[in-house]
Amino acid sequence: MNFSTPIDKVSNIGPVYKKRLEKMKVKNVGDLLFHFPFRYEDLSRKTLISSIFHEEKYVVCGEVISISSGKTAYRHFSYSKAKIKDSSGEIEAVWFNQPYLAKTIKKGETLLLSGNVKRSKDGLCFTNPFFEKTDSLKKKNKLLPIYPETKGVSSKWIRFIISSVLEKIEIKETLPGETIRKNGLCSFSWALREIHSPSSFSAVKKAQKRISFERIFLLQLSLLKQKMALSLQKGVPVPIDIEKIQELVSQLPYKLTDAQKKAAWQILKDMEKSSPMNRLLEGDVGSGKTIVAVIASLVATRGKYQVVLMAPTEVLARQHFDEIAKLLWRFKIDIGLLTGKKDKIRSKKLKGDTLEISKEKLIKKIRDGELLFLVGTHALIEEKVRFKNLALVILDEQHRFGVEQRAKLCLKKSSGIPHLLSMTATPIPRTLALTVYGDLSLSVIDEMPKERKSVITKLVSPKKRKEAYEFIRKEIKKGRQAFFICPRIEESEEKNDSPWANLKSVEEEKENLSQKIFPEFRVGSLHGKMKSSEKEKTMKDFKRKKIDILVSTSVVEVGVDIRNAGIIVIEGAEMFGLAQLHQFRGRVGRGDFQSYCFLFTSSWGEKIKNRLNALLSSKTGFQLAEKDLELRGPGDFLGKRQWGNPDFTMNAFRDRSLVESAKDSAKNILQKDPNLTKHPSLRKRTELLKEKLHLE
């Protein structure tokens, strides 16, 4: 038996349990041993029944002196009820909705009970306690592992199966000896045994640390290997053209912030090198990342190299196309746009005008190296685009793309690996950035343009809705424009099977606002299912102030830049993550006037209020990302799918010193043995991980 032995080859597991386990993504012995307990029942804190006086959590051990089942008088809930006796006294335990327990538990058996004691009309009593028959427990076990369960698979059963597997299996060490020694780790075998059959809390901690370390170590190993491989590749060195940069910058209606200048310089310095750049540009919403990317693009195109910029939505791609074309046409740089599959006509900017040419012609111009700058969506990857001389790939809102997509884009070149500039406004908290990005080069724009006022954010209770509408009316009369966001997810861009489907839809809300609430204003709508030309028209009208209120789905979540928009209303705000809400909020506050963000919710619970309140107190994306991490755990940042069931290793990603020592160890190993020839199993596992990783 080894880790890849299929689960149904384990004794006592037949087709029924196989199916049940598969539901928990347990397919082989390795999965089973990595099905970790999410908590431990501490049986050492046993109390005597006679010392129970309060409503509190207790652990007791005693003999069953009676067991029965019945239905409550009120609403007829079924229950099982047992009376337990120890040397000091007696106490009752009740389990609701589990009538079968009366058959499982037998008079005369010894039970361990752990759970909350509540006061009922018959006195103190355990309610729905955890229980275990003690004759089925190994006496030495003081800590009882409790696992994530599924229908028909109890913790007790998992414990039984795992302990039988642990008796038979030989667990080989997975980490190099020096790594174990240097970091004072325990062995893999010891760790797994302690996690499933712990001798003490401190042993569990040590074991968990070892497992977490290994995960982070492997991740770092994989990332560092990729980085080394990249640095050995031949890139496309692009000389810096200071004069042209100055010309561009002097045309801008604003001064670059120091942070923008610094980031641009770091990027240009990287692009000069003969090895390919891999740099992440992180900056809060509205911090001005686009212009930094345009500076890099100008330099590349001046050197007659090609640049491609990919954006996650069509709306954003079109915005970039329009804005960048305006900035670059004085340098006689044409720019093309490639989006969606259906429409055949693509545009090309020529002397400030848009020239419509066919898709085929556009693709040919790119292949021949005639067109230097191409902007687009995911469609860029699917289309048969080939570049003649690609030097720079820019990913806007990079967290929306997977590694494969990025790699595919980078491979559309003729010679040399292009430089890669990824941009994101969704800040990844520091420790996580360190973890998931390894040694990726990072530029941070940590400064907002000077004249910006921070957006006033308000959580609006249902009663205050009218008042908010009146306020908005006044603002629009002053000349401001407003976004209204409806929480219906874009089907084309996000998943379908969400609970969001029956929330306010854009069209309904547009009706409501234009007919009932704001009949005096012009209301437009935007969602992913509209035709490209309709979307384009709506965005143009909004930009030209022909529309006062734009009702939209999350298509405007990222990137959209409308300077005159002063208000954003978010319906069903509880349905969005904090980072996402922050992105929405970033759609306003781009001019020098005061802007507002109103959050409406369809339910009004404490928990929701607490979470949304974080948005009121945190002004920057960084603060919020930390908050999100605190409230939801790192799963959302790392992508749950890659990591299976969330478990303690998730939290380890926040442990900076652990992350750093894992990283150092990974570096050490690679320095001595860059191809991991001496560590074939590590090599295999890092390759597997590389395939799975969705982030950098």
Contact residues toward ligand ADP (CB under 6 A) are 254-257, 260, 283, 285-291, 425, 449, 561, 563, 590
Q: How far is CA 251 from CA 291, 325, 328, 443, in A?
A: 12, 14, 10, 24
Q: How far is CA 630 from CA 28, 439, 614, 623, in A?
A: 33, 24, 11, 11
Cα–Cα distance, 350 to 370 (Å, whole number): 13
Single out the segment in contact with Mg ion by CB under 5 A; choices: 126-134, 485-493, 501-509, 555-563. 555-563
Pairing of strands 481-485, 565-570: parallel
Single out the segment in contact with Mg ion by CB under 5 A; choices: 10-18, 67-75, 551-559, 566-574. 551-559
**In this complex, which beta carbon is closest to Mg ion, that of residue 281 or of residue 363?**
281
Q: How far is the CB of 619 from ligand ADP (least distance, A)?
A: 15
Single out the segment in contact with Mg ion by CB under 5 A; choices: 355-363, 452-460, 558-566, 664-672. 558-566
**In this complex, which beta carbon is closest to ligand ADP, that of residue 404 or of residue 592?**
592
Please spell the DSSP secondary structure of 133-182, one letter per residue: EGGGS-TT--EEEE---BTTB-HHHHHHHHHHHHHH------S-HHHHHH
**In this complex, which beta carbon is closest to ligand ADP, that of residue 394 or of residue 459?**
394
- Check: CB of residue 417 under 8 Å from CB of residue 643: no
**In this complex, which beta carbon is closest to ligand ADP, that of residue 340 or of residue 449?**
449
**In this complex, which beta carbon is closest to ligand ADP, that of residue 115 or of residue 589?**
589
Nearest to 601 by CA among 439, 479, 694, 464: 464
Cα–Cα distance, 41 to 58 (Å, whole number): 11
283 binds Mg ion (CB under 5 A): no
505 binds, among Mg ion, ligand ADP, none (CB under 5 to 8 A by kind): none
Q: Which of 559, 566, 572, 634 binds Mg ion (CB under 5 A)?
A: 559
> ∠288-294-297 over CA atoms, to 5°?
150
- Check: CB of residue 487 under 8 Å from CB of residue 575: yes
Residues paired with 347 in a beta bridge: 356
Q: What is the x/- site pattern for Mg ion, positions 568-607, by CB under 5 A?
A: ----------------------------------------
Q: How far is the CB of 289 from Mg ion (least distance, A)?
A: 5
Q: How far is the CB of 294 from ligand ADP (least distance, A)?
A: 9
Element (H, E) at 190: helix 188-196
Q: How far is the CB of 379 from Mg ion (least distance, A)?
A: 19
Q: How far is the CB of 209 from Mg ion (least distance, A)?
A: 39
**In this complex, which beta carbon is closest to Mg ion, that of residue 395 or of residue 573?**
395
Nearest to 552 by CA among 521, 595, 523: 523
Q: How far is the CB of 559 from ligand ADP (least distance, A)?
A: 6
Q: Cα-flanking dihedrals φ and ψ of residue 225, to 5°?
A: -60, -45
**In this complex, which beta carbon is closest to ligand ADP, that of residue 101 or of residue 285?**
285
416 binds Mg ion (CB under 5 A): no
Q: How far is the CB of 358 from Mg ion (least distance, A)?
A: 29
Q: How far is the CB of 446 from Mg ion (least distance, A)?
A: 16
Nearest to 435 by CA among 256, 262, 649, 662: 662
Cα–Cα distance, 450 to 542 (Å, whole number): 25
**In this complex, which beta carbon is closest to Mg ion, that of residue 555 or of residue 659?**
555
**In this complex, which beta carbon is closest to ligand ADP, that of residue 101 or of residue 296?**
296
Name the closest residue to ligand ADP (Cβ).
288
288 binds Mg ion (CB under 5 A): no
Q: How far is CA 30 from CA 15, 163, 675, in A?
A: 18, 14, 26
- Check: CB of residue 257 under 8 Å from CB of residue 445: yes
* Binding site residues, Mg ion, CB under 5 A: 559
